[in-house]
Structure 1
Amino acid sequence: MKQLEDSQLETFDTEYVNDKRWQIIKEQIERDFPEGDFTFLDVGGGNGLFADRLLSNYPKSRGTVLDNSELLLSKNKSNSRKNLICDSVEHLAQLDGKYDLICFNWLLHHLVGNSYSETRRNIAAAIEAVIPLLTSRGRVSIFENMYNGLLFDGLPSHLIFTLTSNQAIAGFTKKMGANTAGVGVCFLSQKQWVETLNHTSLNLLKYSDDDKWGIPLKWQIFLHLGNIRCGHFWLVTQTC
């Protein structure tokens, strides 16, 4: 898989789970883990801010943050209940722990390969890879952005990947606002995410989303974008 440079990773030293999105996942956690006693793995957890919020709100919880960026992991606050692992999502199968909750927060669209089809396979493989790591009561939480097309649902996904993964026009795409310019990014529509998840051995328990974003007119025209919004998938294995 391709990896962003440190200068690009700096832009991800933030936290995207705002208060409204926190309420979405908080509702699921408190329904399925009412005592607040659970273990979690934050895949691509970077600076650890999301993990810190879980640990703060649920004093009985214990967590692990996995990320392949030493830069972002170095931003983590020390916590006796938090473990840090510097490794790639490609090596998830090598982990020997079991977790009650495994989180992908805006990570999956960054699992870029040498082609669009390879990237889609990377996304599916990462989701499948965490299933053996779940406990008998395990849940998978996925936050992602839904890039829905105007007339052709999946067209924005293809267009954005093609433009951002092209190194020859990286300067142009960076000016257009793509912080993944020259590497690539694979946003999917809500329908594409559902189709991807339907091909795994996970069942969807709850889908939630927030308000539609304001989209610049140039994005609507050139990227065939109908709407963008953040969506959250709460999943369980079919054996649970």
Structure 2
Amino acid sequence: MTAVTLVLAAALYLYFTGGPRWLRSLTARIRSRIPGSRAGASAAARAHQLRTPRVRIAEALGIRTQAGALAARSKIGAEGERRTAARLAPLALAGWRIWHDRALPYGRANVDHLAITPRGVVLVLDTKAWSARRPVSVSGGRLWHGSRDVTGRLDGLRHEASAVAQVLGVPVIPVVVMDGPDVQGEPLELDGIHIIPARAVCTRLRVLVLGRRGHVPISQLDARVDQLLPPYLNGPR
């Protein structure tokens, strides 16, 4: 067998299987040590899980599957979360504490992004990587993506913010970061949830927390986050 054949065989093996478990584990450990690299990790893992060898073969043959469609949406979501992480970097340099993809202490939900300002104000951010072809707006007490009522898609963030507030013992501000669609009539707020465009996330968050101050030292909040909200890929508890 020639060297070229071996390389092609190895490439096909990695494509259809994702590689051996030890290699995936090593890659995850390396990524976990890179600041911001955890963003979108669980969504990416879900996409990989859905793209089984059978699904990969179907894709190679041009056959569409439900699992493949779900994997594609998970991949889009992961990419959106990574973009948000990159956009939040200036806040981290300004003294904000920021975590990505953290597990709640119960259930299977995860927090896309958790931010704590230097004054101890806590925010839970949920990235929505939706189509840019239709704008997002609020009308009649409902959230709309174009003509589609998507109010129900805020329920997850509402649950996550409530859980984080309970775990940390402090008020939490829930924020949707819209990655893709224009946000009409911003700043938008619906039932206490703030909806901001991803392109202006740092500016909007600074305005949102202006004049606010938490009641728990940031060092204590740091310790609580690390202890009670572990990285999601360590597994929901």
> What TM-score do the two structures reach when normalised by structure 1?
0.28
Say which one has the larger Rg: 2
Q: Which has the higher helix share?
A: 2
